[in-house]
Structure 1
Amino acid sequence: MPKFKAYNYNQDAMVVVNFKEQLQPGTFEHAIHFLIDNKLDLSLFDKHYKNDDDGRPAYDPAILLKIVLFAYSRGITSSREIQWCCETNIIFKALSCDTVPHFTTIAAFVSSYPSEIEQLFEQILLVCHKQGLLSNDLFAIDGCKMSSNAAKEWSGTFKELEEKKQKIRSRIRHCVREHRKLDKNSPSNAPQAARQAQTIKTLEQAFDRIDQFLKTQAPRMGQGKRPKEVKSNITDNESAKMTTSKGTIQGYNGVATVDKKHQIIVDAQAFGHGQEHHTLRPVLESLEKRYQRLKIRQNLLNQ
Structure 2
Amino acid sequence: MKQPDYDETALKEAVESEPPKLRLINRAQLSWQVGDVERLIEGDHAARAIWDLVGRLDLGQFVTSIGSVQGQAGRPTFDPHLLISLWLYAYSRSISSAREITRRCEYEPAFQWLTGLEIINYHTLSDFRIRHQQALDELFTQVLGVLSCEGLIALERVVHDGTKVYANAGRISFQNKRRIEEHLEAARQQVAAMEDPMVENSDARRRKACERARREREQRLNNALSEYERIRAAKRPGYNQTNKQKTGVSISDPEARVMKHSMAGCALSYNVQVSTDTASGIVVAIDTSQTAPDYEHLVPAAKQIEKRIGKMPKQMVVDAGYTSRENVLALHQYGVEMFGRSIETDGRVQQRFARCGVTHGFLPGAFQFDVNTNIFVCPEGKVLTPRRPEERPGRTMVRRYQVVFSFLCK
What residue in structure 1 maps to residue 59 of structure 2?
A: 42
Aligned letter for 1:43?
Answer: G
Deviations 1:29-58 (A, max 9, x none): 121121122x11112111211111220000
Higher relative CO (Cα under 8 Å, sequence separation at least 6) belongs to: 1
* Structure 1 gaps, min length 5: 169-204, 223-227
What residue in structure 1 maps to residue 271 of structure 2?
A: 253
2:235 maps to 1:219:
no
- Secondary structure of the 2:152 match is coil
Q: Which of 219, 225, 249 is 1:233 aligned to?
A: 249
What residue in structure 1 maps to residue 161 of structure 2?
A: 142
Tell me the distance in 2 between the aligned counterparts of 1:147 and 1:274.
Answer: 13
Tell me the distance in 2 between the aligned counterparts of 1:261 and 1:114.
Answer: 29
Aligned letter for 2:129?
Answer: V
2:39 maps to 1:21:
yes
Note if contact 2:63-2:80 (Cα within 8 Å) is conserved in structure 1. Answer: no
What residue in structure 2 maps to residue 197 of structure 1?
A: none
Aligned letter for 1:275?
Answer: P
What residue in structure 2 maps to residue 71 of structure 1?
A: 90
- Paired residues, number: 245
Deviations 1:240-262 (A, max 9, x none): 11122244321211111111111
Note if contact 2:41-2:109 (Cα within 8 Å) is conserved in structure 1. Answer: no
How far off is 1:121 after superposition?
0.5
Note if contact 2:257-2:270 (Cα within 8 Å) is conserved in structure 1. Answer: yes
Note if contact 2:112-2:118 (Cα within 8 Å) is conserved in structure 1. Answer: yes
Tell me the distance in 1 between the aligned counterparts of 2:45 and 2:264.
Answer: 34
* Structure 2 gaps, min length 5: 1-19, 183-217, 241-245, 315-333, 337-410
Aligned letter for 1:94?
Answer: W
Tell me the distance in 2 between the aligned counterparts of 1:71 and 1:55.
Answer: 29
Q: Which of 309, 328, 335 is 1:291 aligned to?
A: 309
Note if contact 1:220-1:232 (Cα within 8 Å) is conserved in structure 2. Answer: no
Matches within 5 A, 1:158-237: 161=176, 217=230, 219-221=232-234, 233=249, 235=251
Note if contact 2:277-2:284 (Cα within 8 Å) is conserved in structure 1. Answer: yes
Tell me the distance in 1 between the aligned counterparts of 2:223 and 2:143.
Answer: 43
2:286 maps to 1:268:
yes
Tell me the distance in 2 between the aligned counterparts of 1:10 and 1:155.
Answer: 48
- Secondary structure of the 1:77 match is coil
How far off is 1:270 after superposition?
0.3
- Secondary structure of the 2:78 match is coil
Note if contact 1:210-1:234 (Cα within 8 Å) is conserved in structure 2. Answer: no
2:121 maps to 1:102:
yes
Change (3 A) 1:153 1:278: farther
How far off is 1:288 after superposition?
2.2
Give the TM-score, by structure 1 length: 0.68
Aligned letter for 2:39?
Answer: E
- Secondary structure of the 1:302 match is coil
Q: Which of 31, 44, 59 is 2:78 aligned to?
A: 59
Give the TM-score, by structure 2 length: 0.52
Tell me the distance in 2 between the aligned counterparts of 1:144 and 1:43.
Answer: 34
2:350 maps to 1:302:
no
Structure ranking higher in helix proportion: 1
Structure exhibiting the larger radius of gyration computed from Cα positions: 2
| Matched-pair identity in % | 23
Note if contact 2:165-2:272 (Cα within 8 Å) is conserved in structure 1. Answer: yes
- Secondary structure of the 1:88 match is coil
What residue in structure 2 maps to residue 188 of structure 1?
A: none
Structure 1 stretch 269-278 or stretch 146-155: which is displaced more?
146-155
